[in-house]
Amino acid sequence: LTSERYAEPDEGKVIRSVISPPLRTDGDRQALWLGLRAGGLDLIASDHVPDRLSVEKRMPAPPFPQISNGAPGIETLLAVAYGAGVGSGEIGLERMVDLLATTPARLFGLPSKGAIEAGRDADLVLFDPSTKRTVRQADLHHTSDFTPYEGLAVDGSVRTVLLRGQPVVRDGIFLGQRGGGRFIERTPRPPTDG
């Protein structure tokens, strides 16, 4: 997705792309990949907001400041990051894991998360990079009724998700219990000189 989406004549497509940070030009995207490779940028995240076209992204469009800012993206984050990053050679697999799990856990003060080690929570995602698929809203599980990635060809899919060592997703089927999460108090980070 690039900022060219904002020039679409279809106002509905434009509204779906009102996100933070905003979509960028291809040149900006290349600079972001450089920052991710070189270590100047710390993580890859989604601006996940499960808006619905009939409610938060409705037409006719309200004045710009009243348009809900965000789009669904958490379910597609791993496959999109893998394809655009690892699959295209922008970053390696270990760097992707660092950007999506290890560094965010460290930055947010979550010492039981972000690594596979004794004493950690054993939250794992088993990802099969060999599958090929096309992102379709009908296949996703979020409460939104659209995806900005509709029709995007991606490599890879999540096969299993473990929460504290227990399977909660297997082959796209949710196996967990509602309310199975738990509050984790953050460990404060020391201030930095900068």
Could you tell me if residue 180 is inside a domain?
A: no
Residues 127 and 97: their CA atoms lie apart, in Å, by: 11
How many domains is the chain built from?
A: 1
Give residue 33's pLDDT band: very low, low, confident or very high (50, 70, 90). very high
Q: Please report, to the nearest 10 degrees, the dihedral formed by the alpha carbons of residues 142, 148, 150, 156 taken in order.
A: -70
Q: Is 141 part of any domain?
A: yes
Question: Does 95 fall in a domain?
Answer: yes
CATH assignment at residue 142 = 3.20.20.140
**Is residue 76 within 8 Å of 140, Cβ to Cβ?**
yes
The answer to the question of residue 72 being in a domain is yes
Residues 12 and 1: their CA atoms lie apart, in Å, by 15
Specify the pLDDT at position 125: 96
State whether residue 95 is helix, strand or coil: helix
User: pLDDT confidence of 194, banded at 50, 70, 90?
Assistant: low
Higher pLDDT, 86 or 181: 86
Domain residues for 98? 3-174
Q: How far apart are CA 64 and CA 140, in angstroms?
A: 28
For the chain, percent of residues with pLDDT exceeding 70: 99
Domain-located, residue 181: no
C-beta neighbour count of 154 within 10 angstroms = 20
For residue 157, tell me if it sits in a domain.
Answer: yes
Please list, in sequence order, all residues whose beta carbon lies within 8 angstroms of the beta carbon of residue 5, skipping any fewer than 6 positions away: 13, 14, 17, 23
- State mean pLDDT over 58-83: 89
Q: Does the pLDDT of residue 22 top 90, yes or no?
A: no
pTM of the model: 0.86
Residue 134 · residue 157 · CB < 8 Å = no
Say what the pLDDT of residue 120 is.
93
Model pLDDT, residue 95: 98
pLDDT band at 70 (very low <50, low <70, confident <90, very high): confident
**43 occurs within a structural domain:** yes
DSSP alpha helices (H): ranges in the chain?
11-16, 26-38, 77-81, 93-97, 103-107
Say if 54 falls within a structural domain: yes
The pLDDT tens digits for 75-99 are 999 999 999 999 999 999 999 999 9
